[in-house]
């Protein structure tokens, strides 16, 4: 009975998410659009700078990090704060379902839509630019889900601390866009100045991008233990902050 209620709630959450045009755009259209623009400009010819790979080959795994960051730091905080403002969370709290069922359905929904956004990006890269993939699909999925959960923890923390949806949106964008600029999303890390790379080493998104690019090129999870540990710590810290400050109303 509880599992059926959880499944129905998760499906409902996905439908509600897809009805939000801004959230749907950043999840499913923004990264593919950026890939089409820069792919058309630079092409995907192999270059020694990227270890014999093309611009699209290194951009697709990096843009997976963009999808993770936009969902985690923009969609999650705004959605959490907006529902609290609209008293939706209070109504959920009053239902017979345990709070854990609602929260886990939310997490499952965000992981699911993030993965769908990633699939859309990969299809664009493959169909339009002949993107190369040399990795283990299972390892890539594990790394992607770990990065997503880490950023969902951060997003829930922001949404729990922000008093309003507008504040949550502002804080999320302040965190997300500089992280994209310095974390190897908009420009490959190889092109960034050394001073920026030293700062970016402390940004969670850098470790998502490094992990995804490494796994995409054939690396193993074991060769990225530092990135994995950083993301696990990020997720735990974000989750603890969210648990401490989460408010139903």
- Could you state, in order of their start, the residue ranges of all structural domains in the chain? 2-245
Rounded to the nearest 5 percent, the helix, strand and coil shares of the chain are 80, 0, 20
Q: Cα(48)–Cα(12) distance, rounded to whole angstroms?
A: 47
CB 98 within 8 A of CB 24: no
> Would you tell me how many other CB atoms lie within 10 Å of the CB of residue 137?
9
Per residue in 151-173, pLDDT tens?
999 998 998 888 888 899 899 99
Reported as a pLDDT band with limits 50, 70 and 90, residue 8 is confident
173's enclosing H/E stretch is helix 165-182
**Look-up of token digits 């939000």:** 20
C-beta separation of 213 from 58 below 8 A: yes
Decide if pLDDT at 99 tops 80: no
pLDDT at position 14: 82
Residue 243: which H helix or E strand, with range?
helix 225-245
- Assign 101 to helix, strand or coil: helix
Q: What is the pLDDT of residue 96?
A: 67
Total residues found in the chain within this entry:
249
**Nearest residue to 47 via CA among 123, 126, 132:** 132
Which residue has better confidence, 149 or 48?
Answer: 149
Looking at residue 186, what is its pLDDT? Answer: 87
pLDDT at 1 over 60: no
User: For position 152, what pLDDT does the model report?
Assistant: 93
pLDDT the model gives residue 93: 66
Distance CA 232, CA 146 (A): 8
Whether 101 contacts 6, CB under 8 Å = yes
* Predicted pLDDT at 104: 80
Torsional sign, CA 202, 206, 208, 212: negative
pLDDT band at 176 (very low <50, low <70, confident <90, very high): very high
Which residues lie closer than 8 Å to 230 by C-beta, 6 or more apart?
A: 204, 207
| pLDDT tens track for 197-245 | 899 999 999 999 999 999 999 999 999 999 999 999 999 999 898 888 7
Q: From 137, 120, 117, select the one nearest 67 (Cα to Cα).
A: 117
User: What's the pLDDT score for residue 243?
Assistant: 80
């Amino acid at each position: 009975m509880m599992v059926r209620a959880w499944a129905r709630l998760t499906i409902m959450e996905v439908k509600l998410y897809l009805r939000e045009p801004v959230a749907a755009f950043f999840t499913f259209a923004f990264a593919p659009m950026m890939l089409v623009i820069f792919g058309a400009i630079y092409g995907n010819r192999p270059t020694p700078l990227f270890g014999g790979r093309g611009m699209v080959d290194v951009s697709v795994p990096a843009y997976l990090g963009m999808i993770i960051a936009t969902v985690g730091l923009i969609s999650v905080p705004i959605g959490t704060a907006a529902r609290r403002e609209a008293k939706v969370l209070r109504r959920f709290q009053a239902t017979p379902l345990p709070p854990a069922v609602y929260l886990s359905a939310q997490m499952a929904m965000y992981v699911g839509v993030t993965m769908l956004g990633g699939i859309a990006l990969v299809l664009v890269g493959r169909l339009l630019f002949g993107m190369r993939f040399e990795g283990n699909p299972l390892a890539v999925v594990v790394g992607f889900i770990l990065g997503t959960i880490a950023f969902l923890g951060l997003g829930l923390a922001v949404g729990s601390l922000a008093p309003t949806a507008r504040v949550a949106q502002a804080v999320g964008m302040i965190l997300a866009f500089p992280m994209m600029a310095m974390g190897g999303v908009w420009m490959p890390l190889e092109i960034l100045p050394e001073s920026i790379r030293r700062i970016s080493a402390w940004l969670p998104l850098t470790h998502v991008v490094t992990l995804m690019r490494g796994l995409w090129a054939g690396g193993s999870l074991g060769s990225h233990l530092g990135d994995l540990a950083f993301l696990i710590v990020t997720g735990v810290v974000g989750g603890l902050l969210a648990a401490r400050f989460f408010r139903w109303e």
